[in-house]
Amino acid sequence: MKVKDKVLKILNENKETYLSGEELANRIGVSRTAVWKAIKALNDEGYAISAINKLGYRMSKGDDVISVTGIGQYLPTNLADTVKIEVYKTITSTNTVLKQKASDDASEWLILIAEEQTEGRGRMNRKFYSPSDTGIYMSVLLRPDCHVTQALFITTMTAVAVAETLDEIFDADTKIKWVNDIYYDNKKICGILTEAAVNVETSKLDYAVVGIGINVKEPKDNFPDEIKDIAGSMTGLELQKDINDNLRNRIVAKIVEKMYDYYKELNNHQFMGKYKEKSMLIGKDVYILTDENKENLHVTDIDDEAGLVVRHDDGRVEHLKSGEVSVRIKE
Ligand code: ATP
């Protein structure tokens, strides 16, 4: 552990209490100058550690800054050497920047996280609103040894990882809306966008970049009018359950831990059982967004290729492919 990690850990365990530079230095076994440097680096990462002459350093409760050090404290130790995290205050789009790094040969499990995106994207270049300080915008670089037809399962395994993480941390019951969205309380709180590069000779993936955008709390300026009826967040639950401290760092670490585990199942799709259990659409009547007649389709299942199995009113059964359609629940 670096000095910075150790200082953060001790201050975290002693929130609202002043600890002198000397005490921190003694507990860690380094010089007071090293402690001072670590505090400066943490403040540069966005932490608000107050320093008062003669009293020492103190961290307040309720601190929820996304930082490499903060996430590192919650990641299982076996992932510490595998996962490499970069945190940005603002970025165009974590997917766009990570794709560039992937083309430049970056290693698997490089993860970019931003407090804000200025050009966040959804499917088909739709916008993903990504305001500062209230969400998590992260992209994960994977280099799976799999055929391009399997790429969709990267999205579905990520959906399970995110939904389960939010359920565990907030004690909530989130739902997965086929194929790439997470809903809570009938509002979309997370979108997932997987973008991949394919080796044309082998038809295997060269890399996949999985982008995850989560509205953890309500944006400071509320959601813009065009999405205010669709978008939601987990806001309120963090206060109710007193879990605001390091909330987003914990969410990120848990998502990464779960993705790492489900990634081992990428070829046998075992996580699809959980995906189906959390499905928001199975058993519901839906329509295809682009269908002017809004024909009634009854969702009966999700098939082995992650297609949506629907029954038409005339009894015909069809398997919808996610790349082709967007569906909406019938009111
Ligand atoms: P589908 O996935 O069914 O095709 P979708 O509308 O959810 O449909 P995506 O590409 O997954 O499409 O996401 C982009 C859409 O998400 C935007 O068009 C907008 O309606 C909505 N959206 C944009 N920003 C946010 C946000 N921060 N939170 C929730 N929803 C958002």
- Locate the ligand 1 atom nearest the alpha carbon of residue 187 and give its number: 29
Query: Does any ligand 1 atom lie closer than 6 A to the CB of residue 288?
Result: no
Buried b (16+ CB within 10 A) or exposed e, 120-156: bbbbeeeebbbbebbbbbbbbbbebebebebbbbbbb
For the CA of 179, the closest atom of ligand 1 is 2
What architecture (CATH level 2) is domain 285-329? Roll (2.30)
Region 6-25: what's the mean pLDDT?
94
pLDDT of 94 reads 98
What CA–CA distance (Å, rounded) separates 207 from 105? 10
Convert the pLDDT of each residue in 130-158 to its tens digit: 999 999 999 999 999 999 999 999 999 99
CATH code that applies to domain 3-59? 1.10.10.10
- Amino acid, single-letter form, for residue 306: A
19: DSSP letter? B
Reported as a single tens digit per residue, the pLDDT across 77-119 is 999 889 999 999 999 999 999 999 999 999 999 999 999 999 9
The stretch 207-228 carries a mean pLDDT of: 97
Q: Is 4 in the pocket of ligand 1 (CB under 6 A)?
A: no
> Comparing 3-59 with 285-329, is the CATH topology the same?
no
* pTM for the full predicted model: 0.94
pLDDT tier, 63 (very low <50, low <70, confident <90, very high otherwise): confident
Q: Convert the pLDDT of each residue in 164-196 to its tens digit.
A: 999 999 999 999 999 999 999 999 999 999 999
122 CB under 6 A from ligand 1?
yes
Smallest CA separation from ligand 1 atom 28, residue: 231
* Ligand 1: centre distance to CA 49 (Å): 37
Torsion angle in degrees (nearest 10) through CA of 80, 7, 44, 70: 40
Give, for 178, the enclosing helix (H) or strand (E): none
What dotted CATH number matches 68-277? 3.30.930.10
297-302/285-288 β-pairing: antiparallel
Q: Among 48-52, 115-119, 269-273, which stretch is predicted with the lowest mean pLDDT?
A: 48-52
* Domain boundaries defined on the chain: 3-59, 68-277, 285-329
